[in-house]
Amino acid sequence: MFKKILIANRGEIACRVIKTARKMGVKCVAVYSTADRRALHVRLADESVCIGEAKSSESYLRGDVIIKAALTCGAEAIHPGYGFLSENAEFERACAAAGLVFIGPSADSISAMGLKDCAKDIMRKAGVPVVPGYQGEQQDDNFLAEKAQEIGYPVLIKAVAGGGGKGMRLVEHASDFIESLATCRRESSAAFANDHLLIEKYLIQPRHIEVQIFGDRQGNVLHLFERDCSLQRRHQKVVEEAPAPNISDDFRNAICGAAVRAAQAIDYYGAGTVEFIVQGDTFYFMEMNTRLQVEHPVTEMITGQDLVEWQLRVACGEALPLAQDDISINGHAFESRLYAEDPARDFMPQTGRVHHFSYPQQSQYMRVDTGIEAGDSVSVHYDPMVAKLASWGEDRTSAALNMAELLRCTYMSGLPSNQEFVASVFDHNVFLDAVIDTGFIARYEQDLIPETYAKAAETEIALAALFYLLGLGIQSSAVNPWNAHDNWRMGASALLRNLSLVNKGEVIAVMATCHGESLEVEGIGQVKLLSYHDGVLKALIDDVEVSAVVLSYKQGITVFSNGRVVDLHVFTPELDGDTLDANGGRIVAPMPGSIVQVMVEVESVVGKGQPLLVMDSMKVETTIPANFDGVVKGVYIAPGDQVQEGTLLIEIAQEEGENDAA
């Protein structure tokens, strides 16, 4: 076994590899960019090396710098994790030339599957069915538009070098094809330095099922069963499970057998995933990921195997630890991806500092893989995934119940996340009945992201007011009511207190009278403190007992209640200024990023919801619309500009009487 390896990655996968390596007595070297100097994977590793600036192109994608670091530290092998250099054939060749072992497949296998068009040709020859489409060299816009027409709408445009949903767009109408093509080219070029595209027939209500395969250098290949990854947004997975529900043994044998044939066709060794699109009992090859997958924990939980340990052993030249007949399915597992993003704003990525992050103790029933601790930041330069929450149960129902409990007992504050959204998935009857496909989230979006999503209800408002006005969060750096310039008195009645809470851009005016450890909140009723310990606030609201976890940092208060996550900001003139600014017609950058396209100019007449500009952040394009009807009075950015969160982009003037006319 290796004595020391270097991990050419960051975040939760680097931490995950360190965990197994340490169990096996293998020392780990972490690499980091200047943005990750204090990151968790750096703190956990035995050694660490700075490899460059924050941009991945200047650090984590610098194979030459990483190899030099490995040689300098005396590492024998490099584990690429996933993403970055994990599917880079030239990097594998460079490692071999430097005398380092690449903990992954051969360069030839990576190259064979690296471009989706070439991969499909190989699969056809291996007898693996593929989705109808066009994957040729001709890339002229009009030619591709003709091919899309021949294939028949809806079609899917995909980057041949793509992954993670980047450079991918569903096109349902011919009128949208050229614009979607341009977007895919930009995303593909930015993410993979390759703007070559292919077109596939888009199957209606398909499932996305993938098979975990593993090979060794002795020529053995086996599978560790399948995962269902159908729940996706922006073609990126959100919830995965293993095994796939509602499939027959014959189907399982057929799809897993096809995955093994696919791996054998390219003399594959190491961990890999063969992805299929499934409609009814028919499956088609989509692509093969020649690396470990983000969702590998669910496979580990149902098979009892450590796939990272398998990777290290195979890379050392050992044969696979088990034969196919020795591997069986035990129970059911789910994985939920916790992202720093706002589902209510089209899943817009969020950046900033995580002020609090805690979750239940890990066990055979619950597992959390993360690269974040309280005080760490989510950077604009990398993927916004914060953690992977995994659950296991003896059957699908119990695994889902365990995931719901894990989501209820995970607390992250400081920036918006998709936690409430995922909790809604595990509360949805259709999902619990295993009626799922890739269109599930879009179809039930109003159920999963209702108008009330993350918006404070009376209970959350009452608890936040009690928490703040009684000073319960003083030890957590909350604003101290003792310093407020009003007439509040401890232990006695006071005159009416006015409190302004900002939630989802809306100002909530709270008027309350303090009576010792209780409040009389206008419009809500009497709110009495029962206890506050370790973040758990218990209170009576009009004699009804309620409980929630309430956490604070400076002026922010976050209330966690039965899967709901409500963020509130306490407005104080001393810190926020004299007035509350709801931005009005000032369109500001919702996150750091770069301007891709500006669609309006000064004096343009715009309608509410009309696209104004396109931003790129974390390699995902976001279209920003007008917030009401009006006239553009200022355009302060241009394509190519780098902007920070809060930067003024465009200003719109709303004519007087416009709302009345509507």
Classify each residue of 62-93 as buried b or exposed e, where b means 16 or more C-beta atoms within 10 Å of its C-beta: bbebbbebbeebebbbbbbbbbbbbbbbebbb
Residue 594 inside a domain? The answer is yes
Domain boundary among 526, 558, 576: 576
**Cα(353)–Cα(377) distance, integer angstroms:** 4
* Residue 581 placed within a domain: no
Question: What are the tokens at 348?
Answer: 């817009």
* Whether residue 476 is found in the same domain as residue 569: yes
Q: What pLDDT does residue 429 have?
A: 98
- The whole-angstrom separation of Cα 565 and Cα 641 is 34
Q: Model's pTM, two decimal places?
A: 0.82
**φ/ψ (deg, to 5) at 292:** -75, 145
Q: Quote the tokens at residue 514.
A: 């303090």
Alpha-carbon distance of 76 to 315, in angstroms, equals: 11
Residue 367 three-state SS: strand
pLDDT along the chain (662 residues), means of 10: 97 98 98 96 98 94 98 98 94 98 97 83 90 90 95 92 81 95 91 90 92 98 98 91 97 97 96 95 92 97 98 98 98 97 88 92 96 91 93 98 97 94 97 96 96 94 94 57 49 68 87 90 94 95 96 92 92 62 69 88 91 83 85 93 84 64 36
Tokens of 581: 């600014």
**Any idea what the Cα angle at residue 228 is, between residues 319 and 193, rounded to 5°?**
75
Residues 368, 262 share a domain: yes
Does a structural domain hold residue 453? no
* pLDDT computed for residue 619 by the predictor: 66
Residue 518: inside a domain: yes
- Domain count of the chain? 5
Alpha-carbon gap, residue 490 to 547, rounded angstroms: 24
* Judgement on whether residues 309 and 435 belong to the same structural domain of the protein: yes
| CATH classification of the domain holding 634 | 2.40.50.100
Residues 262 and 329 in one domain: yes
pLDDT of residue 660: 40
Q: Which are the contacts of 636, defined by CB distance < 8 A and separation ≥ 6?
A: 647, 648, 649, 650, 651
For the domain that residue 317 is a member of, what is the CATH number?
Answer: 3.30.470.20
Is 596 found in the same domain as 570?
Answer: no
Q: Which of 201, 232, 259 is the last residue of a domain?
A: 201
Q: Which of 179, 201, 223 is the last residue of a domain?
A: 201
Q: Are residues 436 and 287 in the same domain?
A: yes
The pLDDT value given to residue 537: 96
Q: Do 470 and 356 have their domain in common?
A: no
Which are the catalytic amino acids?
Answer: 291
Residue 307 lies in a domain: yes
Closest by CA position to 352, among listed 401, 288, 417: 417
Residues 176 and 213 in one domain: no
Q: Is residue 110 included in any domain, yes or no? A: no
Residue 419 lies in a domain: yes
Task: Identify the pLDDT of residue 577.
Answer: 57
pLDDT of residue 164: 67
Q: What is the pLDDT of residue 656?
A: 54
Q: What is the DSSP letter of 202?
A: P
Domain identity same for 425 and 291: yes
Q: Are 343 and 252 within one domain?
A: yes
Three-class secondary structure assignment of 106-129: CHHHHHHHHCHHHHHHHHHHCCCC
Structural domain for 628, as ranges: 586-661
Question: Do 376 and 259 share a structural domain?
Answer: yes
The CATH number of whichever domain residue 189 belongs to comes to 3.30.1490.20
Same domain? For 482 and 498 the reply is yes
Residue-by-residue DSSP string for 212-238: EEEE-TTS-EEEEEEEEEEEEETTEEE
Does some domain include residue 554?
A: yes
Torsion over CA of 454, 456, 462 and 463, rounded to 10 degrees?
10
